[in-house]
Amino acid sequence: MEKIPENIQENPSVLNEEVDFSFDELFFSRTNESGIILSGNSVFQRISNYAWNEILSKPHKLIRHNDMPRAVFWLLWETIKNGQPIGAYVKNRAKDGRYYWVFAIVTPVEGGFLSVRLKPSSALFEAAKGEYAALRAMEINDNLKPAEGAAILLSRLQELGFRDYAAFMSAAISQEMVARDIQTDRQEDNCIACFNRLVSSAQCLQDHATKIFSAYEGNAYVPLNMTIQASHLGNFGAPMCVISSNYTSISEEIQENLKCFLESGTKVARVIDEGLFLLATSRIQREVFDHFQQDTPNDGASRDQEMEFLDQQQQSYSEKAAQGLDAISLQIRQFQQACLAMRKLTSILEVTRVMGKIESASLDASRTSLNDLIDDLGSFQKAILDGLKEIDESNKAIRFDIEQLLKAS
């Protein structure tokens, strides 16, 4: 176990107790680039149970709980040091040894970092607690380095269906915002709801694009098999060899387009995740700013300076969220172009299939299995068309929700 900081005054009778705070409370702290606490709000001070003179100018790890996987903090620091925001579930320790869970949103600011926290309560939070416990046990039992633990964490997230950590933190902040609105009897945030629908639509795009790619892989050897079958027919199979060669060329072009197709679908999902995280971050930062206006100033920090930091961050992430909508629109247009290219190739594929069907009918069916191969070609074509049809529906849904978001922005 990691050593407990010396200035934590544990009360053995409350070690397993949770610090109580309400869902409508938000707290923040600001640190320098080394993680030294420069300021915070009264909620942060009260929940941590430290006086201001005990917590200011101290490392933020002062409130770290031993149950937290070191891998999470390694991932957090790697992200924010690269100038990117991050969201994470964090279990903290108060001065008396009690614990409290938060969902923390950490963003780079001039000269350091700003961390805004809210009380989590979603189903994803419950799942995360179990994953954290398992990962922490591995760190201790196997003496894992933080980077090794982070690799295990990212691998586990993929097993749970998240493309990467960015997709996970986007889902987490979304679920926590929705859960918090329910807990505080607020109306549903229409923008968050729109983004959640966008996430679902983007997942449909990826699922259908993957199905099309799987159908291609299942038919990858059809042109070779057609060539082999045609060669067995001698001169009678010459026309079919030409048809097979044409199909080979089309197949290779389809393969190249499928790579772009899958990549484009992934980009759509990624920019939607980024947009959702930015929007939710902007909303939370705006709420913290409003709360801090009514807050009691803390000793040792400039209230005006903190207000300026919060205001600048909120405005910055509002602008980034708006830019995110433009990025989504751009990626959707590029994805639609990829769909159009696939449709054109499918039309050429249909011509090749029909020519093969006609030529096969003129041959002795008992001497060749060309008909079966051409039927496979037809199945592949149908898989592409069915997938593109479903993708069209997802594209329409995405365009509709983007329009709604643009109207609301």
pLDDT, residue 186, reads 93
Measured distance CA(7)–CA(95) in Å, rounded: 8
Q: Which two tokens stand for residue 28?
A: 């923040």
Q: Clarify whether residues 257 and 344 are in a common domain.
A: yes
Q: Clarify whether residues 352 and 211 are in a common domain.
A: yes
pLDDT, residue 7, reads 47
Measured distance CA(166)–CA(86) in Å, rounded: 8
Determine contact, residues 175/346, Cβ cutoff 8 Å: no
Residue finishing a domain among 84, 106, 122? 122
Output 397-403 pairs: Cβ under 8 A, ≥24 positions apart: 397/197, 397/201, 398/198, 398/201, 398/202, 398/205, 398/268, 398/328, 398/332, 399/332, 401/194, 401/195, 401/197, 401/198, 401/201, 402/198, 402/325, 402/328, 402/329, 402/332
**Which 3 state secondary structure label does DSSP give 149?**
helix
- pTM exceeds cut of 0.95: no
Q: Which two tokens stand for residue 187?
A: 């109306």
Q: In one letter, which amino acid is 273?
A: D
> Beta-strand (E) ranges in 22-94?
27-32, 37-40, 86-93
Measured distance CA(189)–CA(39) in Å, rounded: 30
Q: Which two tokens stand for residue 275?
A: 């947009």
pLDDT, residue 18, reads 94
Q: Clarify whether residues 262 and 118 are in a common domain.
A: no
Measured distance CA(68)–CA(90) in Å, rounded: 7
- Number of domains composing the chain: 2
Question: For the chain, how far is it from start to end, CA to CA, in angstroms?
Answer: 48
pLDDT, residue 2, reads 42
- The CA distances from residue 300 to 23, 41, 111, 295, 309, in Å, are 28, 12, 17, 15, 16
Q: Clarify whether residues 111 and 194 are in a common domain.
A: no
pLDDT, residue 311, reads 86
* 4 belongs to a structural domain: no
Residue finishing a domain among 122, 138, 156? 122
Measured distance CA(21)–CA(309) in Å, rounded: 25
Alpha helices (H) along 160-237: 165-183, 190-218, 222-231
Q: Clarify whether residues 272 and 352 are in a common domain.
A: yes
Query: Which helix (H) or strand (E) element contains residue 109?
Result: strand 99-109
- Non-local CB neighbours of 42 within 8 Å, separated by 6+ positions: 295, 296, 298
Q: Clarify whether residues 239 and 357 are in a common domain.
A: yes
pLDDT, residue 363, reads 67
* 229 belongs to a structural domain: yes
The boundaries of the domain holding residue 356 are 190-408
Q: Clarify whether residues 263 and 379 are in a common domain.
A: yes
* 87 belongs to a structural domain: yes
Determine contact, residues 173/280, Cβ cutoff 8 Å: yes
Residue finishing a domain among 122, 141, 175? 122
pLDDT, residue 208, reads 87
Of the candidates 285, 356, 348, 346, the one whose C-alpha atom is nearest the C-alpha of residue 320 is 285
Q: Clarify whether residues 194 and 115 are in a common domain.
A: no
Q: Clarify whether residues 220 and 300 are in a common domain.
A: yes
* 216 belongs to a structural domain: yes
* 141 belongs to a structural domain: no
Q: Clarify whether residues 224 and 313 are in a common domain.
A: yes
CATH number, residue 16: 3.30.450.20
Query: Which helix (H) or strand (E) element contains residue 345?
Result: helix 303-361
Measured distance CA(60)–CA(41) in Å, rounded: 14
Which class for 208: exposed (0-12), middle (13-18), buried (19 or more C-beta within 10 A)? Answer: buried
* 175 belongs to a structural domain: no
Q: What is the pLDDT along the chain (409 residues), one digit of tens a residue?
A: 344 444 445 556 566 799 999 999 998 899 999 999 999 999 999 999 999 999 999 999 999 999 999 999 999 999 999 999 999 999 999 999 999 999 999 999 989 999 999 999 999 999 999 999 999 999 999 999 999 999 999 999 999 999 999 999 999 999 999 999 999 999 999 999 999 999 999 888 888 888 888 888 887 777 777 777 777 777 767 777 777 787 778 877 877 787 787 888 888 899 999 999 999 999 999 999 888 888 876 666 677 778 888 888 888 888 888 888 888 888 888 888 888 888 888 888 888 778 877 777 776 654 557 777 778 878 888 888 888 888 888 888 888 898 888 887 6
Q: Clarify whether residues 210 and 110 are in a common domain.
A: no
Of the candidates 325, 378, 329, 372, the one whose C-alpha atom is nearest the C-alpha of residue 352 is 378
Measured distance CA(318)–CA(324) in Å, rounded: 10
**Which 3 state secondary structure label does DSSP give 96?**
coil
Residue at token pair 């069907």: 357
Angle at 207 between CA 335 and CA 329, to 5 degrees: 30
Q: Clarify whether residues 105 and 200 are in a common domain.
A: no
